[in-house]
Amino acid sequence: CPDGIDLYFENVGGDVTKAVAPQLNQGARVPICGYISNYNDEDITKAETPFHILKQLEHVPEHRFFVVYEWQDRYDEATRQLGEWIKEGHLKYRESVGEGLENAPELFRGLLRGKNFGKQLVKIAEEEI
């Protein structure tokens, strides 16, 4: 990121946060939704969370943990805006797609181990239009 990062949606933690953190611009914002890299830790109280990593920076970005339901009253507005940004190419996403409901448990375990990229989906049938 040659121009740095102004907004980083934190959902992973660990090595990903450590790689992103030095690239955050002064005044950056980091909404923290989770840190899945620590979910399998034996003692989560000893985990190095995004809060620990971000507070070590010279310019600590604005950051806080949030729950999506805080914004439930703006769901329709957000859905319209996000759809528009996707169509315009302003918002990009990646997803991993696994095949078959019978593979869902293993795909879920892979999700917790970081084997997927982006959103993990399970395709259970051909789409009918």
* pLDDT tens over the chain, length 129 residues: 889 999 999 988 889 999 999 999 999 999 998 888 888 788 878 888 888 999 999 899 989 888 878 889 999 999 999 999 999 999 888 899 999 999 999 999 998 888 888 889 999 988 776
- Least Cα distance to 59 among 22, 16, 9, 32 occurs for 22
The predicted structure's pLDDT at residue 128:
75
Instruction: Report helix, strand and coil shares of the chain as percent, to nearest 5.
Output: 45, 20, 35
The predicted structure's pLDDT at residue 129:
67
- Least Cα distance to 64 among 55, 56, 74 occurs for 55
At the second CATH level, the architecture of 5-91 is 3-Layer(aba) Sandwich (3.40)
The predicted structure's pLDDT at residue 46:
84
* pTM of the predicted model as reported, rounded to 2 decimal places: 0.61
Map residue 22 onto helix, strand or coil. helix
**Alpha carbon separation from 88 to 83, 84, 91, 125 (Å, rounded):** 9, 6, 8, 29
- Least Cα distance to 28 among 52, 7, 54, 42 occurs for 7
The predicted structure's pLDDT at residue 79:
94
Each domain of the chain, given as residue ranges in start order, spans 5-91, 93-129
